[in-house]
Amino acid sequence: MMTSWKIWFGLMSVCLLQSRVMSQKVQLEPLNSTALRDSDVQFTATIQGDWEVTNWGVGGIQVLTIVNSTDNIIPSADRFSARFCFDTSRSCVEFTIHNVTRADAGEVVCSVQGHQPATAQLYVQESGTVSIPGGNVTVMQGGEVELECVTTAWFPAPTVSWTQNGQVVNSSLYNTTSTPDGDSFNSTSTVRLTASRSARVECLASLSTLTAPQSSSVYIQIVPKPPDWTVLIAVVVSFGSCGLLVFLILGIMICYKHRKEKKQNYQDEMRRVRTHSQLSVIDTPEQVRGRVNESYEPENQRNDTINWTESGYRKHRHMTFV
């Protein structure tokens, strides 16, 4: 019983050692590769020792076979090819997938007859479109402008960023959301900027496989801010109020002065009238008593007149009352 257990353990050790040796016979690089759709991607297999047949599989499908003895390379489609890395050695094989598609994503397997297969992982990215709806924007200086950037049919969802006149916009000023659409993603990014001057604003969408981000840009045109009449109006109102107050005070003073003069003239007139009345009351008896009666004639003269009248004319007597 003990002997059988030892035999079984020995066989397992041999199998594991052989499996390790076999796994080291084929080395595939890179083990992880990311490619952009419609680009070419290469994998290199280094094979230790002699070999006869090598098969390559993509996405679970065998796509190419290499027969070492006849130098025969048999691809299943034009998008797949292989070549020896060195003319003098068959230990290195370069496998290429042309115009890679999303369907190619997954495992890439190199199987050498008599050896353990080597496996690598392929990731395929896809870039879509970028746009800023609405076009150029006109805004008053100091106003706030909101712009929206839309990306469509990307895989995976792109990284979206903004620039203003070539300067990176702080990420706190914009918000980006992505939603799946079938086997791709659509994204919307909204940025809010204060329009201090005219500027070129650009939305950039990028993937790790893109050599340069895709972008869309618009121009923010600044309109001069209309003058703020508030201060001027306040100044005018202030001066106007002061002027009105001065005129009001002057008017009150003039009215008061005029009223005072009128009252004084009235008092002077009343005083003059009162004085005149008093003088009239005092002077009348004296004037009556001391008035000269020019018609008065002495007695002797009055008689002569009478006598003269009686002699030649009608008798006429003059009497004078004093």
Please give the Cα distance from 129 to 38 (Å, whole number): 16
Last residue of a domain, which of 80, 108, 125? Answer: 125
CB 53 within 8 A of CB 68: yes
Indicate left, alpha or beta for 142 from its phi (over 0: left) and psi (-120 to 50: alpha): left
Domain CATH code at residue 180? 2.60.40.10
- What percentage of residues in the chain have a pLDDT greater than 90? 49
Rounded CA separation 45/42 (Å): 10
Smallest CA-to-CA distance from 34 within 106, 96, 109 is with 106
Whether 57 shows a pLDDT value over 50: the answer reads yes
Is residue 207 one of the residues assigned to a domain?
Answer: yes
Pairwise CA distance, residues 254 & 250, whole Å: 6
- The neighbouring-strand residues paired with 148 are 190
Q: Residue 219: inside a domain, yes or no?
A: yes
- Render pLDDT for 180-218 as a digit per residue (tens, 0 to 9): 999 999 999 999 999 888 999 999 999 999 999 999 999
Give how many domains the chain has, as a whole number. 3
Angle formed at CA 277 by CA 276 and CA 278, multiple of 5 degrees:
90
Query: Residue 260: exposed, middle, or buried by beta-carbon count in 10 A (0-12, 13-18, 19+)?
Result: exposed
Per residue in 126-166, pLDDT (tens digit) is 999 999 999 999 999 889 999 999 999 999 999 999 999 99
Where does a domain end: 190, 223, 256?
Answer: 223
- Whether residue 108 is found in the same domain as residue 38: yes
Q: Cα–Cα distance between 74 and 94 in angstroms, integer?
A: 14
Which backbone phi and psi does 18 adopt, to 5 degrees?
-65, -40
Q: What is the mean pLDDT of the chain?
A: 81
Q: 300 is written with which tokens?
A: 């002797």
Instruction: Give the strand pairing for 199-206 and 137-140.
Output: unpaired
Answer whether residue 193 is part of any domain. Answer: yes
Determine, yes or no, domain membership for 209: yes
CB 201 within 8 A of CB 164: yes
Q: Is there a domain that residue 177 lies in?
A: yes
Containing H/E element for 299? helix 299-312
Do residues 170 and 218 both lie within one domain? yes
Residue 112 lies in a domain: yes
Are both 116 and 136 inside the same structural domain? no
Residue range 77-106, pLDDT digits in tens:
889 999 998 877 788 999 999 999 999 999
pLDDT tier for residue 115 given thresholds of 50, 70 and 90: confident
Task: Give the residue among 124, 106, 130, 108 at the shortest CA–CA distance from 38.
Answer: 124
Question: Quick check: is 55 in a domain?
Answer: yes
Domain residues for the domain of 251 are 229-281
Whether 93 and 111 share a structural domain: yes
